[in-house]
Amino acid sequence: MSSIVELKNVYKSFGSNQVLNGVSLAIPKGHVTAIIGRSGSGKSTALRCIDRLEVIDSGEIQVCGHQVHAPDIDLRALRKDVGIVFQSYNLFPHLTVEQNITLAPCAVKGLSKAQAKDIAIRTLTHVGLLDKASFYPEQLSGGQQQRVAIARSLAMEPQVMLFDEVTSALDPQLTGEVLKVIEMLAADGMTMVLVTHEMEFAARVADTVVFMHQGKVWETGPGEMLRKPQTAELQAFLSGGL
């Protein structure tokens, strides 16, 4: 099965801190990959490198046919194909929910306001928030804001969605709201890479779980590997109360 996302021997340092230490990873189209690991293991950095938010020191990254490691990469074209949702929602507070969603399709894709509004209606329906289209972010709960952030990424019709600890700032009920949307996207066949600390969710939804340790891919396998870890490091991580 051909990979839509591939990392080959990727290294990344911040000063003297080696964060990624030869990471290789291949993600087939339509698969959900969950990346887990302790804080500082390199998981969020790996995710940010996929979208070229961080520039790697060496190695290769290919995403949707884009050579992400190339110095002359067309970032605009890359980000049409790759959506990313962060822990902080990053919504524009002075714009309504609908305006937050229609902004990029109009500015980046050149769609008319009517076309962008149709997409906003569709994506808000998808995340269960069509009734909040005229609300401002401050009028929404954290879970609702995160679902709007997901809808905003979906509005660009990406081939790959990246999620970086999107539930870590939410309480359990709101976390459930957001995970339900991600689970629905998985059922629809969206290629997704999730950095998450939600172990049960990762075990249930991910086709592949990647455990990172000391900047390396330490153990990888299907979700059930979280019930039967093969390495002492993963066993220690899972027994740490997570």
Residue 108: per-residue pLDDT: 85
Class of domain 3-41+55-238 as given by CATH: alpha beta
pTM of structure: 0.93
Residue 64: per-residue pLDDT: 95
Tokens of 228: 């039967």
Which residues neighbour 182 within 8 Å (Cβ) at sequence distance 6 or greater?
150, 163, 166, 192, 194, 201, 205
> Could you read off the pLDDT tens digit of each residue along the chain, which spans 242 residues?
589 999 999 999 999 999 999 999 999 999 999 999 999 999 999 999 999 999 999 999 999 999 999 999 999 899 899 999 988 888 999 999 999 999 999 988 889 999 999 999 999 999 999 999 999 999 999 999 999 999 999 999 999 999 999 988 888 888 898 999 999 999 999 999 999 999 999 999 999 999 999 999 999 999 989 999 999 999 999 987 44
> In the sheet that 208-213 helps form, which strands lie side by side, from edge to edge?
82-85, 160-164, 191-195, 32-36, 208-213, 216-221
